[in-house]
Chains A and B, each alone.
Chain A
Amino acid sequence: MIRTIVGLIIVLALSAIVISSISDYSVPSQLLGAGRFYTERGVDDTGSVNLVTAVVVAYRGLDTLGEVVVLFCASTAVVLILTLIPIGANPTPPSSIVAFTAGVLPGAIVLFGIYIITHGHLSPGGGFPGGAVVASAFLLVMLGSNTIPGKSKFLASIESLAGLTFGLLGFWGMLTLGQFLNNLVLPAGSPGRILSAGIIPIISLAIGAKVASELSGIFASYRKAGGEE
């Protein structure tokens, strides 16, 4: 009881601080600073129609590389901690609905994920959501089978290859144009075409493969540690 009251008091104090700090905030009428720079120069600089992908992959590519490293550390930690929990028994067999769906849908889901990844510079999407969609197809396959996934060299090599591609493309830009991850080492092409925007589609593929393989690795180690007890 006292815990609830103290929590409520702290939250009310926080909300008072927040309200007093935003009370004189007014709606901005135009973009300033970095946002203005990106919206004015984005297409000419990168050739990517989708400016969010341009910022994620080209302008702030180094941040994205660091983010992928964070994801890698988290998934490694999950797998490491789960080895402390003994491997569970074979999971209960899936119901017929799940088994049938897992036989039919994953192909279409993977195709949709690849579409999201490869069209990241043209329409909403990119490596992160596409990789998550591919990983959810993997999850569906795993839920549809009643065996425990074994060790997978394939997932690990895909993950390493994607990370290596990302880093090497960055160094390519550094060697030829003097900037890490400069995306114009390949021609920018005409904006709006699928083969345009320099190395953005390749890096999107690398990010997608990395996210998909890491989330799949997390799911596989979850499955190994068993579900209901």
Chain B
Amino acid sequence: MNISLLAAASIGTGVMMLVAAVAALVVKKLISAIIIVGFVSLSASVLFLLMDAPDVAITEASIGAAISTVIFLWGRGKIGGEE
């Protein structure tokens, strides 16, 4: 693939991820934070794909983005929303 296209993709995804990571920590509602962290995991799997690591990308997409989101949603259901 074209290297400048790759650079644009990695920079765009990276900026999006960092903004989303800060947003996940400062946003008011806990459920929004959980969904945003799932989005960060999904973007991380895109970065793994750009780094020629398809095995890691598929694992991160199925485990990091799906299963850990479910785990945190369960915890939110047991504890309740934000303070």
How many A-B contacts if CB must be within 8 Å? 47
- Is the Cβ of A129 less than 8 Å from the Cβ of B62? yes
Interface residues on A, range: 20 to 34
- Is the Cβ of A52 less than 8 Å from the Cβ of B62? no
- Is the Cβ of A132 less than 8 Å from the Cβ of B59? yes
Chain B contact residue count (CB 8 A cutoff): 17
Contacts of A128 in B (CB 8 A): 59, 63
A132-B63, A136-B62, A139-B70 in contact; A50/B77 too (CB < 8 A)?
no
Q: In the A-B complex, list the 8 residue pairs whose CB atoms are closest, starting with the nearest.
A: A124-B54, A129-B59, A132-B62, A52-B55, A227-B77, A228-B77, A124-B55, A132-B63
What are 16 A-to-B residue pairs whose CB atoms are below 8 Å? A53-B55, A124-B54, A124-B55, A124-B57, A124-B58, A125-B58, A128-B63, A129-B58, A129-B59, A129-B62, A129-B63, A132-B62, A132-B67, A222-B74, A228-B77, A229-B77
Interface residues of B (CB under 8 A from A): 53-59, 62-63, 66-67, 70-71, 74, 77-78, 80
